[in-house]
Amino acid sequence: MQRLPLVCTGLGFTMCRSWCPDRTVFQARKYIANSLEEKYTEPVILNLEKTWEESDTRTPLICFLSMGSDPTIQIDALAKKLKLANQSEQDGG
């Protein structure tokens, strides 16, 4: 077992280390369902228009994407509909 750096003491967070990466998502969902509610483990289809309406200049929009998902087309369509300038940049990672 490794010690956490001193900067991490007293922060009150859970660190998960997995020997079997294929089990990590399953166990994370199980933990969330037991800690919060089952509804927080169910996938959600993002409604970009509603999300945009709820945002402002001081509230960033953050999306966690699954492997292979790419909302670029939906973002471009919303920008066009709202007549906003849109410049896409690729992560490259």
Question: Can you give the pTM of this predicted structure?
Answer: 0.47
pLDDT digits (tens, 9 = 90+) for 32-45: 899 888 988 888 78
pLDDT digits (tens, 9 = 90+) for 70-79: 888 888 899 9
Q: Would you write out the chain's pLDDT as a tens digit for each of its 93 residues? A: 566 555 555 556 566 565 677 778 888 888 889 988 898 888 878 788 998 888 888 887 777 777 788 888 888 899 999 998 877 666 554
* pLDDT value for 91: 57
Encoded tokens for 31:
């933990």
